[in-house]
Structure 1
Amino acid sequence: MTTTPGRPRIRSRLLAALFTIGFVFCAATPAQADPVTADIVDSTGRDGRTVALTFDDGPDPEDTPALLSVLSRHQVKAVFCLWGEHVRQYPEIVRQIVAEGHTLCNHSMRHDDLGAWSAEDIRADLQATSAAIREAVPNARIPYFRAPYGSWGQTPQVAAELGMQPLGWKMDVADWEPPGTEELVRRLVEGVTPGAVVLLHDGGGDRSQTVQAVDQIIPRWKAEGWTFTLPAGPGGTTDPTDPPTDPTDPPTDPPGNGGPCDVDYTVVNDWGNGMQGSITISNTGSSPINDWTLRFTLSGVTISNGWNGDWSQSGSQITVNAPSWNPTIQPGQSTQLGFAASKSGSTSPPDQFILNGTACS
C-alpha cells in the first residue's frame, strides 16, 4: 500500500487465487516511448482531460480479478504496481494482468520503507521483485517503479539505472482507509485534474470499495470527456488522446486504399501455453490508409482477445479491421495492435502481412 509515512498497512488475505483470461485495451495511435530518467513522473504528459489509473499492493486473490473485470468491461488500461511477496503467492493473477494488456510496475519486495536504504540494498530489493514478476511472466516488461509510502530516498536513481521510471501521483483519495464507496467517488470527482496520475489500491487489505468506486467513476468521467491513458515515461508508448481523423475531411485517396506500409511483429511475453504479441503498422507512403484491414497467418495459436482493432480468426488466418475511433493511418504515423493467445508448442512469426490488399514489408 502506498501512503504517506506513518500510515498503517493492512496485510492482504491469503485466499485461493482466481484466474480468468481476456483482454481489452482502449488506446489509439502510438507515440514514441520516453527515455527513462530519475524524475518522478506524476502526470500523463498529455494535453486536455487525460487521466491515468494506477493500482498498488496487488495482486490480491479477490479484489484484483474483480478490478480486472471492471476495467475490461469499461475498456480501460491501467498500471499495476506489484508487491513482490504477493506476486509469489498469486502468479496466475499477474499473468492475467499481463494477458489483459495492462502495464506492470515494481513496488518492492515486502513494501518496506526504502527511504533510508543504501543504493546497494535498494538495487537488490528491486531486482528481486522484478525477478519474482518474471518468474510469473517470463520476459515481462516492467517500465515503472513506485516507492512504498512515497518514501523515495535513493530509489529514483536506482530504479532509473534498472530501466524503470519512478512513478508518483498527483491524486491520492486515501482508499487505504477505506472511507466508503460513495466517499471515494466524491473524492475522485472533486479531485481529478487534467493529466493526473491517480493512486488507488487493489491489494493490502479489503479493496472492494475501490473496485466499486472505479466501476462508477469510469463511465462518469468518460461522459465528461475524460480519456484514460498511461503515465508519462517508458510505459506510455500509446497515446489514446490522439483523435481519429475527422470523418468530414475529404480523403486524399479513395476509402479502402492500400499503400506503402511496414509491419513489425514482436512477442512481448511467452509463458509456454500462452503468449502476448504486439504488431505495429506504419504508413510509409504519402497518402492516408483508410478503413484499414490487416490479414496474416499465425499457426498454432488461438486468439483469446485483441486490442486496437476488431479481431477475428478462421483456422490460422487472422483478420483485424480498423476500430471506428481509429479508421485511418496517416502518412508517417503508426498504429499498434496487440493480442493474447493460447498456443501449443513454439510459434513462428507470420511470413507476410496484407494491409488493404497490399503486402507490407
Structure 2
Amino acid sequence: MRSVQKSNSKMKVDDGSGCEGPGTEFTREVVLKPAGYPLIGLIDDDPFIEDMELFEAYVREQWEGFEVRKGMFLFDRDLFKGFAYRVISADPEGLAIGPDTRVFIAPSKESAEPEERPKTFVSFDDVIGQSAAKKKCRLIERYLEDPESFGKWAPRNVLFHGPSGTGKTMLAKALASKADVPIIPIKATQLIGEFVGEGARQIHDLYDRAEEMAPCIIFIDEIDAIALDRKYQELRGDVVEIVNALITEMDGLSERRGVCTIGSTNRAQTLDSAVRSRFEEEIGFVLPDAGEIEQILSSNLATFPLPVDPNFNIRKFAESAKGLSGRDLTDKILKTALHRAIIDDEKMVAASYFDDALTELKKSDTSSDCQNLYA
C-alpha cells in the first residue's frame, strides 16, 4: 500500500520499499502568531480561540503536508477566510505539518502594548462651556482613579449626547487626561465586520484589550450607527449581532473592573432602548451661548497665522452666531475667513470675511433655525 503525502504544495509518494523518502517526516511543533487580514483594518485581528485542542485539529486539517519555516505565512481558508498567521518557529524547521504536530499560538500583542498607547493631553480648560457635563464627569474621574472603591456601584457605561460638534469627543479625551488613563477611541462603523460573527468578535476583543489596560476608557463615537432602535435594525441585519455583543459587555457578565464605556451620539432618540437602558449615566451637551462663542472665537483667533482686522467686533459677531456649534465656528467660519484672506493675498483677515462666512453658512441651512442643523 502506497501512502500519499503533501509537502510544499506538491504530492510526494512513498515508493513502498519501507524506506522513508524526503518530506515524509513531520515537524513536532509549530508556533503561530495571528497577523491579521491583509486588506481589512480591524480593531483587533485575533480570532478568539476557546478550545486549543480543537484548534490544533483545525490547523492540521487545513495545512497538513505544508512545510513550515520561520517567517512564512499560513492563510485561513474556512472560518476566518483570508486571515493570516505568521510562523514564529517550527521544530524541526523545514518539515511539514503532520497528524501529530503540536500547535501553539503566540500573543499578537506584546505585553508592553498598553504602555505604547499614547495618552491624550487635552485638558478640561480646552473644552469651552459644558459646565454641567464637566461636573458629571467628576464621577467617572473618581471611578477611574480608584475602581476598587466603587464595587457594584461603578459608573461603567455613560452616554454623551447632544448636537454634533459640541465637544463630546474632546471632553472624553480631557477626562482620560485628568484621570491619567488611556482611552481607546473608535468609530462605531469600524465595528461592523465583513463576515458573520466578525463584528461580535471585534466587540469582545475590544473589551479584552481595554481590560488589559485598565483603568481605561472605551469611547465609541456615533454609537447610533450600530445601536439603532430595533425597528431600524430590520434594515441593518448586519448590526444585530454587534448590538447583542455590546449589550453582553455592558451588562458586565464578564466583570471588567476599571473599564468605562462612553458612547457618543447626536441622535439619542434613535438608540435601541435595550442599549440605552444599559447606560447608568446620560450626560447632555448643549450648543454654546453668546459668551461661550466669544471665548471660542477669541482663543482660536489668537492662533491665526495672520492678524485680524481690529475693527472686527467679536462680541457682536458672537450674538449673530448663536445656534452654531464649536466645530462650525472653527471649521466653517474661522477657517473659511482665514483661507479666503490667504487666497486673496491679504495681510490681515478683514471683518467682512467673517460676516460673509456666516452668511454663507446660514444660507446652506434649509431651515430658519440653526439648531435644526443637528437633528
TM-score range, shorter-chain basis?
A: under 0.3
Structure with the higher helix share, 1 or 2? 2
TM-score, normalised via structure 2 length: 0.24
Structure with the higher strand share, 1 or 2? 1
TM-score, normalised via structure 1 length: 0.25
Which is greater in Rg?
2
